[in-house]
Amino acid sequence: MKSGLKIIFMGTPDFAVPALKALHKNKNDVALVITQPDRPKGRGRKIAPPPVKTAALQLGYAVVQPESIRTRAIEDLLVAQNPDIIVVVAFGHILPQNILAVPKLATINVHASLLPKYRGPAPIHWAIINREKETGVTTMLMDEGMDTGDILLSSKIEITPDDTAGSLHNRLAFMGADLLIRTLKTIEQEGLHPVSQDHARATYAPLFKKKDGRIDWKQPAETLDSFIRGMTPWPGAFTFHKDKHLKIFKVRPVPMKVDDPPGTVIKGFADELRVATAQGALSILEIQGASGKRLLIKDFLRGYQILPGDVLI
């Protein structure tokens, strides 16, 4: 038996898939799934469907992939469904007021931060880069702003010292799915009880480009550790040895006195690549060279020579 709320779901990437699957598992009435168009993906640039489309078709849902959400045809399509709620999870578009006004009850967003902190498209990355101890997910009523709507529910999670943007993303995706189901049940049983955000405490988490992953060795080792974890797997942290592009996946800060300029390779243990920073050193544990294969540093150094005194830039 389906839930009493009729839902239109909007989402695009992997982060949104657990939420869609949770709606299906809990027998929510998902009338339609809206996602972005198929795009070129990967090195071969082959056209590929977004993860939400793949999941939706497997679950038997109707899927629409508009180039723009701001058309009369899309508005008419949504109005014809007569939804109680629109659920938005990492859809990739800010919805205009005419779309927000379509559902009878609300348009609800699942956001991967504890709002009002880290509004914007990259909250998971920035929480790690800024060395936060905790983060979480928030459900909110959407308005026309960037994650500025009133809060419904939130849930916290610890950020571990080993977390990358990838590992934290996966945990938050499932936490967001659970919080969405709890939010919908609360609305059915108790109605809407939103709380305004404290806008004075808001921070913004802007999107990254590939070039933003370049390592600045003039930063302290602890800062660089957080930066590299926050850049993994996307956009990827990287540096150069001479003209060779090196992608760095995993490091360990080494608290020690360093006299060499930042970026200088310094002597460490055998099969170790230790690099001077502004404060302490950084031991590189996993790396990828031009071969495109991610390797433990000891395996990488068997086929590629980097000597003490060399400089990474």
Q: Would the CA dihedral through 22, 188, 113, 100 be positive or negative?
A: positive
pLDDT at 247: 97
Q: CA 70, CA 2: separation in Å to the nearest integer?
A: 30
Residue-level pLDDT at 269: 84
- Any idea what DSSP says for residue 228? H
Domains assigned to the chain: 6-201 (3.40.50.170), 210-303 (3.10.25.10)
Average pLDDT for runs of 10 along the chain of length 313: 84 98 97 96 87 98 96 96 98 94 97 98 98 98 96 98 98 98 96 95 96 98 98 97 96 96 93 95 95 91 94 97
SS3 content of the chain, % helix, strand, coil (to 5): 30, 30, 45
pLDDT of residue 199: 96
Residue 268: burial class (beta carbons within 10 Å; 0-12, 13-18, 19+)? middle
pLDDT value, residue 160: 97
Q: Which residues contact 312 (CB under 8 A, 6 or more apart)?
A: 215, 217, 239, 240, 241, 246, 263, 264, 265, 275
**pLDDT at residue 34 in the model:** 98
Q: Give residue 228's pLDDT.
A: 98
The confidence score (pLDDT) of residue 82 equals 97
pLDDT of the residue at 105 = 96
pLDDT score at 209 = 96
* pLDDT score, position 1: 54
User: Of 173, 167, 122, 142, which Cα lies nearest the Cα of 17?
Assistant: 173
Kindly report the pTM of this predicted structure. Answer: 0.94
